[in-house]
Chains A and B, each alone.
Chain A
Amino acid sequence: MMLRSWSFFIIGCWVVMALIAPMLTNIADTIDLDKLLLSPFNYGPLGTDELGRPMWARLASGAQTSAWVALLVVGISASIGTLIGMLSAYLGGWFDRSVRWVIDAFLAFPHLLLAIALAAVLGAGIGNLVLALTVVGWVGYARLARGQTLSLRSRYHVLAAQALGVSKRTILWRHILPLLFAPLAIEATFGIAGAVIAEAGLSFLGLGVQPPNASWGSMIREGARYILTAPHLVLVPGITLMLVILAVNRFGDALRDKLDVRQ
């Protein structure tokens, strides 16, 4: 229980940081060459980076990036994936066969590698990053929604609705979708952790967010050059990133235990 409230606290901090970041852009982007690479012990709460910008404001700006990317990627890929998966299972026939084929084809690629390839071809930038992660991400939701719908399709309440002549759309929307909610919520929680890691990873590789915008991944990338003299450039965003992912994963575990869904 303590662990869970602890993870709530971290997630709360992440959200607050992301929300206040737009008010801090002036501070986060102001270069001050008199204050280069100051350690947290000498300046402010978290020190300054290689251009003299305060780390705490950069960190908030990175929180904003990761939160937006995670929200967009999970929101879009969960909606598209669920819709396709449900339709595929419920309609069956050639549509189901082709969807299953596409899902299998996507699963044949290692995920991160496919995202790297797409980001490389599309070019760097936050929009393309979201696009690349969504193209890779919808498959998991589609597979889950398809599997769940297949088993729900023969439940009595669905058969009863069918016998009463309820339209397909209403059955999917009112009788099947609400029952998909629990497993999808768990998948989406882990999806948020995955999107945060992927955004930071691609930005670390130079394929994501471009300067002057901050991402925790690009902060680590830039900071790695000063690892001998100013390790806080890597440690501050690195530990923050780790804590956020840890909290989201822990939250997902707790959610799964509570909703008691077998994987």
Chain B
Amino acid sequence: MMALVKQLIGMLTVIWVVVTGVFILLHLAPGDPVGIMLGESVGMDEGLLRKQLGLDLSLWYQYQHFLYGVVQGDWGYSIFYHKPVLTLILERLPATLTLAVLAIAIAICIALPLGIIAAVHKGAWQDKTAMLFALIGMSIPGFVLGPILIIVLAVDHGWFPVSGMNAPYAWFLPAITLGTALAAILTRMLRASLLEVLHDDYIRTARAKGVSESRVLIMHALRNAFLPILTLLGLQLGALLGGAVITETVFDWPGLGLLLIESINRRDYPLVLGAILLITLFYVMVNNLLEIAYRWLDPRIRNHDTGQG
């Protein structure tokens, strides 16, 4: 229980740091928002607008106001769309989440068999092939893999659409592009953590009792090898969300990442920082929830916490 409270306090601190960081970035951003807004509509009163936006007040007051606004769901106004930032980014969130979930699913579908085969046949050609795949997968960035997939599968063969998300199977190429790097890292990690547990006593016991090899692997080894993978998956989410920005740009996928890049090009800083804030908050929360889940799944950690504080 103590550990849970500590975890929640830690999470809130990190969220506060993230919000503060975004506030600082917002004020470091070049160009006065009033100047940018007035650039489009001539004849407005600069002083009045400044007053409306609260920019005539002290920085400390603005900061308090910003913190209060973030908590209340008032994330500012987009300069380009003239709409609330939160509404705009929440509209785009489902597309990004769909892409991320599909990418994780594809990564697991690839990594699970490859990692197991590599660990079981350690040193043999199966292992070497799987590790070569992992090395290539880690080394090919999304903005290279994406266009190659488009050229081969969309342009030459016409099996998939080149961009967008409306056509059937349009999700396939973006999800592969985003999921490949994760698949590669998961394969390596799964192999390593399986190799570690396969030498443990309880595996030898299970084998000595005559449990079939596949059952030993799946029910005994894999269950324990999964825990480190869960943490890794949470940490990799950051790379995945960053990768989503690139993948969405490659495929014109109308998610948060594409909105982010469009807003950067339009110098719409409130929207840029709103998108970054939402993605980061999402990342922080998922990681903390995973850590709580991890505690709950592994009795060794749970008992350690309650037993020795």
Binding site for B on A (CB under 8 A): 104-105, 108-113, 116-118, 120-121, 123, 193, 197, 200-201, 204-207, 217, 220-221, 223-224, 227-228, 231, 234-235, 238-239, 241-242, 245-246, 249-250, 253
Contacts and interface: CB of A to CB of B under 8 A. Distances in A.
A150 B237 CA distance: 29
B28 interface: yes
Nearest to A253: B135
A239 B140 CA distance: 9
B264 interface: yes
Given A108-B14, A120-B264, A120-B272, A235 B151 contact: yes
Nearest to A220: B143
Interface residues of B, number: 44
Contact of A238 (B29, B144, B283, B284): B144
Contacts of A206: 261, 264-265
B139 interface: yes
Complex A-B, nearest 5 residue pairs according to Cβ-Cβ distance, in ascending order: A112-B242, A110-B238, A238-B144, A246-B139, A245-B139
Contacts of A241: 141, 144
A121 B28 contact: yes
B18 A201 contact: no
Judged by DSSP, the binding face of A is helix
Contacts of A113: 238, 241-242, 245, 276, 279-280
A214 to B, nearest CB: 15
Nearest to A123: B30
Choose among A120, A201, A249 the residue with the greatest number of B CB atoms under 10 Å from its CB. Answer: A120
Nearest to B29: A121
Contacts of B239: 110-112
B147 to A, nearest CB: 4
Given A110-B239, A113-B279, A205-B245, A200 B143 contact: yes
B143 A201 contact: yes
Contacts of A224: 147, 250
Nearest to A206: B265
Contact of A205 (B18, B28, B249, B279): B249
Given A113-B280, A205-B245, A231 B151 contact: yes
A238 B261 CA distance: 21
Contacts of B280: 108-110, 113
Contacts, number: 124
Given A117-B273, A238-B148, A108 B284 contact: yes
B7 to A, nearest CB: 13
Interface of B: 14, 17-18, 21, 25, 28-30, 135-136, 138-141, 143-144, 147-148, 150-151, 155, 162, 237-239, 241-243, 245-246, 249-250, 260-261, 264-265, 269, 272-273, 276, 279-280, 283-284
B150 A227 contact: yes
Nearest to A200: B141
B250 A116 contact: no
A231 B272 contact: no
Contacts of A234: 147-148, 151
Contacts of A245: 139-141
Q: Which residue of A113, A116, A228 has the most chain B CB atoms within 10 A of its CB atom?
A: A113
Nearest to A109: B280
25 contacts: A108-B14, A108-B283, A109-B238, A110-B238, A110-B239, A110-B242, A113-B245, A113-B279, A117-B276, A120-B29, A121-B269, A197-B141, A204-B246, A220-B143, A220-B144, A220-B147, A223-B147, A227-B162, A238-B144, A242-B139, A242-B141, A245-B141, A246-B140, A249-B139, A250-B135
Contact of B242 (A105, A111, A220, A227): A111
A195 B151 CA distance: 27
Given A204-B143, A205-B246, A109 B18 contact: yes
A180 B227 CA distance: 30
Contacts of A249: 135, 138-139
B14 A105 contact: yes
B25 A121 contact: yes
B136 A246 contact: yes
Nearest to A105: B17
Contacts of A111: 238-239, 242
Contacts of B265: 206
Contact of B139 (A110, A118, A193, A227): A193
A240 B143 CA distance: 13
A228 B155 contact: yes
B159 to A, nearest CB: 16
Contacts of A227: 147, 150-151, 155, 162
B241 A204 contact: no
Contact of A109 (B21, B138, B140, B151): B21
Given A105-B21, A111-B239, A111-B242, 11 more contacts: A105-B17, A108-B283, A112-B238, A113-B280, A116-B245, A120-B269, A224-B147, A231-B151, A231-B155, A238-B147, A242-B136
